[in-house]
A and B are shown apart, each in its own frame.
Chain A
Amino acid sequence: MRHLLSAADLSREEAITILDTAATMAATQSRAIKKLPALRGLTVVNLFFEDSTRTRISFEAAAKRLSADVINFAAKGSSVSKGESLKDTAQTLQAMGADAVVIRHSASGAPHRLATSGWIDAPVVNAGDGMHQHPTQALLDAFTMRRHLMPEAGTGAGLDGKRVVIVGDVLHSRVARSNVDLLHTLGAEVTLVAPPTLLPIGASTWPCRISYDLDTTIAEQAPDAIMMLRVQRERMSSAGGGFFPSAAEYSRRYGLDAARFEALPGHALIMHPGPMNRGLEISARAADSDRSTIVEQVGNGVAVRMAVLYLVLAGNEGTPS
């Protein structure tokens, strides 16, 4: 794997290799000494043009557990705020010896440009770009689902036949796009539920079902996992696009309240990429239930990102034990 730019680029075999590698990585994290020597002497640059402390720390922890050196580059207060271009910034970091670049950017496609424009040679890992993709988030979500929903399957398993419902602001969500692509590749059946204003015009061609009605979807699909997306309250106002009339209406129609939580199958996982708006898209009862994997997803993120960094930087040398 040269780069990780989009979940859509991953074959089933590649995706399962990452999940299996992540399982190996996760197993090492219960040891007294968590650090592996796999990337010793290599430098990973976290190039964050957009604030995301959680994702940056997760990548930083992953790189350090593999013994890589880490340089964190935040656009705020940097030369970028003085007008330096992505190209110049990338080339500066390359000159400083970056072996891999983890990039977060508000512009969709920025990681793709970085990887394909000849500006740098290093592998590029997409840590979230605009409304496009967040492939490591989708991988950690799939990793979490596989652990809970396919506990006996072991390595090599996908998510065949599992039903996943993703609810909320699909239009602006790189998490939703990535999950649709990856879960489909892994054999799961995905249903997107959102008000029509928060679904992209072209979503009808995606490999998933589309619904505007959460109650009907829960009743008909009996999902194995339900993933609630973060809703930004400013999207209500006309300045923010006026995508829905009010928080109350959104919550009534699309929130995972107590009644909907009760209507889910007993084994269904409650997922959220975080940070949550409690009381808007998800109730405290659902978020704090024993079926919620929301905190576990964060922990699994480190193992998945260890796997990705390992595979783009040292993947040809086999999986570490």
Chain B
Amino acid sequence: MDLRYSEADEKFRGEFRSWLNDAVPAYGDPPPPHDWPARRAYDTGWQRTLYQAGYACIDWPKQYGGRDASPTEQLVYFEEIARARAPYVGINFVGIKHGGPTLIAEGTPEQKARHIPRILKGEEVWCQGFSEPGAGSDLASLQTRAVRDGDHYVVNGHKIWTTYAQVADYCELLVRTDPAAPKHKGISWLILPMNLPGIEIGPLRTLVGEGEFNELFLEDVRVPVEDRVGAENDGWRVTNVTLRFERGTAFAAAIYSQQEFLADIARAARQVTRDDARAWDDTALRKEIGHAQAELDALWAMVKMGVSESSKTGVPGIAGVAVKLLYSELDQRLGDLAMRVLGRAGLSRDDVGGLPSKRFLATALKSISLTIAAGTSQIQRNIIAERILGLPKER
């Protein structure tokens, strides 16, 4: 039960920190969130900067350009990124955290050679084509069809929640290759180049307004068979290999940015004056801020527990399942706190009265998605109840 980082971890921290101290101010401020070409340039440029300094994809194996960073080194990495308020992966998220690791684990030598170095250097952006209008929590019931025609698959279907499709070069696409097989057994994983004929991208207007989500309409799109990753009909297993890369750090960056948000809320509360008192003087509000702080610190300790477990055993502890449930619900409470501090200024999504409405509302509205995306809170609770607590299935 020891929270002291090793000397090697602290050495890595020192080097990375001093690099960030110069690199972050030199890189400049991010563009407006909906200027997609500018965001692509900004995020891929930062990725290239990281790559040149040897800090890109540190969790990847050395032979693929990573550092084989241990889970604790990854924690140090997140702590330092947060401390320096440095950019994080941004639109490179799918390539770095999902597509790339999947190719490393399951790709052919040709697939790896074609994509891995380019993802690493920020030359190639990926998006994710998993969910469909009829396949959300029950993802394995997806219906997008891929029919073999010589050395191509002909793909027809409709994907939704395709993050960053508007700037992506490739899509990790799940398709049904055997409609007769049980639903988990008839799925394949394809690399879909986004410039093929028959692909139509429609921005999905969410409750936030504009954003990173899209719909993807696929009509007779011809994907070379050589772009399939893993065996035909083995796509469900291929999808799950990325879990092996998840070493208890999946939500570390998100939890760290919550810390920033909470500190900003507290700062705003000390500025706002209502009825001749600062919002901060409201004991109830202050205690809720303290309460949220406790949960955030406890969550970070929980991440450290999972990371320690995976450092030794290769897999994070079972309790890690609860991290997603807890952090997503906490995020929404932070959103409520932000709204309470803003008061009527929170009715404006542009800054008014010197308050950071724009940023607070963007975070508060986005938080609504967190209990839905990547497994709804209800699905997480079923998993905890059945797999951890051993409670009987409902039917």
Partners in one complex: no
Residues of B within 8 A of A (CB): none
